[in-house]
Structure 1
């Protein structure tokens, strides 16, 4: 019986893999993007209702977050359209909010749902460095790293069940998988580290997105030096899923010349 089951599992696994057009890599994909976007909208709305959102009208920092988010979103949309990949952004309704929290963290859910925590700003220190972080998190979403990690979690914890089935049978487990996959509420749900490959992809794409949006990608080096130093005290939560800042800096420097080709300062 095992001789029969194992090949069937392997066939099912391969059938669940999809090629991401922006990375060119095959990924485990058990959850349709449309379903993830629906879940993201629900979780994003709930998160904002349960946390203190800083209004752009009352805060220059919140205004900056919204400006950075909008410029990154415009750059991504333009780039995807030029590459003939506009359909990949189907269902994207970009939102960008600053949330009052001591956590030095940021994340992006499917569909372009972005949050930056106020605790990150003393480390980013300037708009271009913030754009590098936002570009990096948007790159994770577009490269479908969260989807990949959630698919792995569904396979391990609920036997690869469809999202709707998992939500019906194990809603708490499924919600926790989603939140950890996208780095939300890590203090509650624990962390699920990105793979080395995912980090390299997000760094490479994130630098380009920031540069396309008119931000100097060189700011990434100072940013990660400050991350490594612990910013204003203690290791940033952002590092919990991002290993070895020193090695990352070396890799970013290798990517810098290519990223600078996309850089056109906004006048």
Structure 2
């Protein structure tokens, strides 16, 4: 029976792994997109109830302008969505995008992202997460890891394995450090790449993405979790990845620039 279950899991893995991300990476997708969209909308509605929403119209127009410029160059399936963009009055240096066409930007980010180009780097990155189906992948990978741990636990109990509790604790930690954290960093790198391409296509200066991460590093005071134990690449790693992609992004930007009509979102006053 255990062999049958294992073969079934392997078969399911190869069936669902046929999905491919915008960068050509193989993906595991176990969840229906409609489910993800509903979950994203519900989460966003809860956040709007729990967090203060900015009423500064200049700031709202600024963020909306940047988001609209980026969304206009996304694939048609995303461009056609009715995206909702909310500015949260919160000092967090962060932004996010959720399945279901939801984007949130915290006013704290606008103190670090010094201009429209740097803000576009962050918002493009977050849209990249949605385009690449990272929420679906994270949930799918988590489900598969949990299923594997449950099966291993059952098998070890049936075999009367010594130190069974220690074994499961070690496997749980190993799956987190060896599977889930590197997987999350892979997502962050992919979203950086997609976001860089989006901002260049939209007419934002791609080199400003590097300046953004330098600002982020300065804002953190140089403190960061060791990359092995972090869900995000450290700023230096992100900057190297962006710089490697910069020639292609610059060429895309220059082509867009030659067409005119570059984004002009202005800049909100001091926040």
Structure 2: distance between partners of 1:40 and 1:98 = 17
Structure 1: distance between partners of 2:22 and 2:182 = 21
Q: Secondary structure, in 3 states, of the residue corresponding to 2:90?
A: coil
Please tell me whether the aligned partners of residues 71 and 79 of structure 2 are also in contact (alpha carbons under 8 angstroms): no
Please tell me whether the aligned partners of residues 113 and 212 of structure 2 are also in contact (alpha carbons under 8 angstroms): yes
Of residues 123, 126, 140, the one that matches 2:112 is 123
Larger RCO, structure (CA 8 Å, separation 6 or more): 2
Q: Secondary structure, in 3 states, of the residue corresponding to 1:154?
A: helix
Superposition pairs of residues 111-260 of structure 1, within 5 angstroms: 111-157=100-146, 195-230=184-219, 241-260=231-250
Structure 1: distance between partners of 2:22 and 2:89 = 33
Taking structure 1 as reference, are residues 235 and 115 closer, same or farther at Cα in structure 2, changes over 3 Å only?
Answer: farther
Q: Once the 2 structures are TM-superposed, how far is the Cα of residue 194 of structure 1 from its aligned partner?
A: 5.3
Structure 2: distance between partners of 1:212 and 1:135 = 11
Q: Once the 2 structures are TM-superposed, how far is the Cα of residue 64 of structure 1 from its aligned partner?
A: 1.2
Please tell me whether the aligned partners of residues 88 and 104 of structure 2 are also in contact (alpha carbons under 8 angstroms): yes
Return structure 1 stretches of 4+ with deviation > 6 angstroms. Answer: none
Please tell me whether the aligned partners of residues 227 and 235 of structure 1 are also in contact (alpha carbons under 8 angstroms): no
Q: Once the 2 structures are TM-superposed, how far is the Cα of residue 29 of structure 1 from its aligned partner?
A: 0.6
Alignment pair present for 1:66 and 2:64: yes
The aligned residue for residue 43 of structure 1 is 43
RMSD: 2.7
Q: For 1:149-183, what per-residue CA distance to the aligned partner results, in whole angstroms no more than 9, with x for missing partners?
A: 01122334478xxxxxxxxxxxxxxxxxxxxxxxx
Q: Once the 2 structures are TM-superposed, how far is the Cα of residue 227 of structure 1 from its aligned partner?
A: 1.1
Taking structure 1 as reference, are residues 59 and 90 closer, same or farther at Cα in structure 2, changes over 3 Å only?
Answer: closer
Structure 1 unaligned residues grouped into runs of 5+:
81-85, 160-190
Q: How many residues align?
A: 224
Q: Secondary structure, in 3 states, of the residue corresponding to 1:116?
A: strand
Which protein is bigger by CA-based radius of gyration? 2
Superposition pairs of residues 5-20 of structure 1, within 5 angstroms: 5-20=5-20
The aligned residue for residue 269 of structure 2 is none
Structure 1: distance between partners of 2:60 and 2:182 = 28
Please tell me whether the aligned partners of residues 135 and 206 of structure 1 are also in contact (alpha carbons under 8 angstroms): yes
